[in-house]
Amino acid sequence: MAGMVSVSNAVNLNPDGLGQVLLFPYYSARGGNDTLISIVNTTDQVKALKIRFHEALNSREVLDFNIYMSPWDVWTAAITDAADGRGQLITADTTCTAPYFQGGVLDAAGNPVPGFVPMVDFQYNSDPVDTTGDGVFDFIGTIDGPAAIRGLERTLSGYIEVVEMGNIDPDATLLWNSAKHTTAGVPPSGGNFGATCSRITDRWRRDVVPPDCAGSSSQPGFWQFCDADADMIPVSGGVFGNASIINVAEGTKFSYDAVAIDGFWTFGSLNHTNPGDVAPSLADGNANTSLVFNNGVLDQVEWPASIFAVNHTLTFNRMMNEYMIDAGLGARSEWVVTMPTKRFHTDAAAGGPNPGLSAPIPPFTDRWIWPDPSRPSAAQKPFSCETLQLRVWDREEQEPTTTNGICPGGVIVNGICISPPPPPTPGQPGFQLCREANVIRFSNDESLPDVSEIFKEPRRADVAGGRLGYTNFDLPAAFGAGWVRFDMNDKVSVIGERPDGQEVRAFGLPVAGFWAQRFANELVEFPVGSGEQVLSNYGGTFSHRGSRRLENFVSP
């Protein structure tokens, strides 16, 4: 193998927040929540991005499209609930997208009227179709799970991925200028604002076949039927993103930065696809090498495929964060733990990335199995659970004991648990996370509400044994604040290779997420001196911390 590779040719997690791939670990449009997202192009290029929205249970896609960002541009949108119970995207941004969501309509103040884009259920609730009438399902459908989880409400929460596909060639002047904003802040106007975005969207038309693919690339349908990379140049990175989950009625806002992955594409790469195409996904990069800092040491590993390099950048063998649920402060805590690559290793159901997958692909250990409609007798298991070992402390480094709760270690010295904990007890599943985007609710009062207090995730107690709702973390009554460590050392990756030829394996799971903390104070006097008391809410988010473990592999 070659020696050290350039960072630009190896997948890495950019701590500075700029990258070729952005991961937004969670969005919610439940219970009055709205999610506001922004994507920023920090370069002088017109950038083509694929943005994809996944539902939380099994990462089925509910919306995707292309964004063509002007140099130095910011694209913004909101995710909220629609009247029919589904999630929807709302944007008044005039940046070119394909399809274009602005109709050139202005309100009385001269501002663009927002476009509304409904999320769809096609990837988890499509019936089989016999298009030829021969009695054979040539479209098998994508019935992903029992009816109770196939409703439109499944689109109301999930996570978002953004993948750079390339840049428009500045030598393609007309096309480049079509996306470039004017001094008025909108693409050049050919009547209504953004009219020239049609020079971009027309190239993706499916109803017009170019008469000659050897002719002009500006023909309608040219990207769709001839060459999607025409007038495009390679990716260059340089995008970052932010998100805020707000609830107007409750007066809360939970903001976080998107996770930025760089080096996803090797130098000179280009992968421009049509709107709605499932590619490029997190499994479609072409850099098989990862670079990860581990206790001050830079680990360089070459993997069998790029998805394992992405895994390595996100993998913790131990994940840690705090909780605070003091009732006297009106405190609530919820964790988001998203596994954005899980579906490529576990989804064996029809319509997924690995239909018929016979065994989970490491480091994951459990499959989501649901038969396609043409094989109704096949096995059914609409969940994919990872069992985690854990330890919990209060703020004075005390662990639960037999007198103040439970002892996860099982060994007591002077009333205090000691480590290491024993192996899991057969027949007792331990703490499980069974979704792709998991919400963990912390409590110490044995309560199990129908929805979680912050993100409003449903409990779903009557579906799949309650595995697909929020996950409740039941603490002893005396534990109102402290921290938790999840141990994932029993999850082991496929084999990779260092530059010196030494085979290695990474321990843990690829995860992203944060702790959301809310406080409520009902005793705030406002206006001061009025004697009137109002409810005040306060909130914040804090990224998960973790450790990494990469060890040499010796063949038995």
The domain ranges of the chain are 16-167+234-260, 288-552
Place of tokens 């007066």: 251
From CA 380, how far away is CA 193, in angstroms rounded?
51
Question: What is the pLDDT, as a whole number, of residue 528?
Answer: 66
| Local confidence pLDDT in tens for the 556 residues of the chain | 445 555 668 999 999 999 999 999 999 999 999 999 999 999 999 999 999 999 999 999 999 999 999 999 999 999 999 999 999 999 988 899 999 887 556 677 767 678 899 999 988 997 655 555 655 544 545 778 888 999 999 999 999 999 999 999 999 999 999 998 876 666 654 444 556 888 999 999 999 999 999 999 999 999 999 999 999 999 999 999 999 999 999 999 999 999 999 999 999 999 999 998 999 999 999 999 999 999 889 999 999 999 999 999 999 999 999 999 998 888 999 999 999 999 999 998 867 788 778 899 999 999 998 876 555 556 788 999 999 999 999 999 988 764 444 455 455 544 444 444 444 444 445 689 999 999 999 999 888 999 999 999 999 998 888 899 999 998 888 899 999 999 999 999 999 999 999 999 999 999 999 999 999 876 655 666 666 666 678 889 999 999 999 999 988 7
Question: What is the pLDDT, as a whole number, of residue 476?
Answer: 86
Question: What is the pLDDT, as a whole number, of residue 452?
Answer: 98
Q: Which two tokens stand for residue 354?
A: 């690995």
Q: Which two tokens stand for residue 470?
A: 């929020």
pTM of the model: 0.90
Return the closest-CA partner of residue 112 out of 138, 90, 89: 90
From CA 495, how far away is CA 506, in angstroms rounded?
8
DSSP-based three-state secondary structure for 464: helix
Q: Are 497 and 302 in contact (CB under 8 A)?
A: yes
From CA 117, how far away is CA 158, in angstroms rounded?
16
Contact partners, residue 134, CB within 8 Å, separation at least 6:
none
From CA 341, how far away is CA 544, in angstroms rounded?
17
**Which backbone phi and psi does 546 adopt, to 5 degrees?**
-170, 170
Interior angle at CA 435, CA 430 and CA 441, nearest 5: 65
Return the closest-CA partner of residue 457 out of 475, 446, 441, 443: 441
Strand residue runs (E) in 408-470: 412-413, 416-417, 431-433, 437-443
Which H helix or E strand runs over 173?
helix 173-179
Q: Which two tokens stand for residue 140?
A: 């098998």
- Looking at the chain, how many residues does it have? 556
Return the closest-CA partner of residue 51 out of 100, 97, 2: 97
* One-letter amino acid of 28: S
Q: Are 165 and 49 in contact (CB under 8 A)?
A: yes
Return the closest-CA partner of residue 208 out of 194, 223, 195, 193: 223
Q: Are 291 and 298 in contact (CB under 8 A)?
A: yes
In Å, how far are 40, 110, 305, 487, 545 from 292, measured between CA atoms? 25, 49, 16, 20, 15
Return the closest-CA partner of residue 96 out of 221, 13, 181, 216: 181
From CA 52, how far away is CA 74, in angstroms rounded?
17
* One-letter amino acid of 424: P
Place of tokens 């994940």: 319
DSSP-based three-state secondary structure for 426: coil
